[in-house]
Amino acid sequence: MRSYRYVVCDVFTDRPLEGNQLAVFTDARELSEELLQPLARETNFSETVFVYPASGEGHARIRIFTPVVEVPFAGHPTLGTAFVLGGPLQLHEIHLETGAGVVPVRLEREGARIVFGWMSQPLPTVEPYEGEAALLDALGIERSELPVELYDNGLRHVYVCLGSPEEVARLRPDVNRLAELPAVLGINTFAGSGTRWKTRVFAPAGGVAEDPATGSAAGPLAVHLVRHGRVQPGQEIEISQGAEIGRPSKLHARVDGAPDAVERVEVGGSAVIVARGEFRL
């Protein structure tokens, strides 16, 4: 048997046992391809990361798996891996090679301890979502306050705006029907105003009924708000997520550029390492 070491961290929180759980296999070179998806299913977190030596311009290459599928990019795995690797490497900025390109993460420290990170995400494309009627019906709501649009930054997310954070909290969607919706991984419902927003993200097609914190969705949400005049370019917003499933999370996001010409999307948050272990296979 061989041993494969991993680290567990809680992402988009500074408190253990909150935020979004992540397993990071810090050296996946000896893992066979056939073991990657079963290991991700075994951890059963929203995502699991496997770290490899860099193949290009990054400090390391990462592969990201949900319990059922590999994805080219995701936010909380990228940020969490930056915390895990950035400490031993003593870096103030780490560049991670993902399936959607190199993602830089700036790391803020208090002494030797990393306390916050900002990742520059791939710029998303946007298009109208053709399955709006079926989506709203599966969510159990009649309408969205903003256009229902599909964003793609390596993951495909659709956005539905409700009238208040309380309406978001009360949602009881039919997750089986959500899983059948075409060409989308994350269904994002949100509400708020100014710099404070609440969101719930359902991703049953990826094996996650409800996600505690979705970094890949936070950036496009900020873009969506800027494009539709709810937030000004350059304004930092705070996003609350995960309370309904007992994993409260805080995400930060900002967009530079103009509503019709986004230049940069950044998503930030904290993370804490809570466990280390190994699989013997």
DSSP string, 242-268: -GGGT--EEEEEEEEEETTEEEEEEEE
From the candidates 18, 33, 47, 97, give the one annotated as an active-site residue: 47
Strands (E), the chain: 3-11, 20-25, 47-53, 60-65, 70-71, 93-98, 101-110, 113-121, 125-128, 149-152, 156-161, 186-193, 196-203, 208-211, 237-241, 249-258, 261-269, 271-280
Give the residue from 249, 203, 224, 250 showing the smallest Cα distance to 74: 203
- Token look-up 């229902």 returns 148
For residue 156, CA distances in Å to 45, 215, 217, 274 come to 19, 12, 9, 30
**CA 156 to CA 231: how far, in whole Å?**
22
SS3 85: helix
- Token look-up 């003593």 returns 90
Q: Is 127 a catalytic residue?
A: no
Report the sign of the C-alpha dihedral through residues 20, 21, 27, 29, in that order.
Answer: negative
Active-site positions read: 47
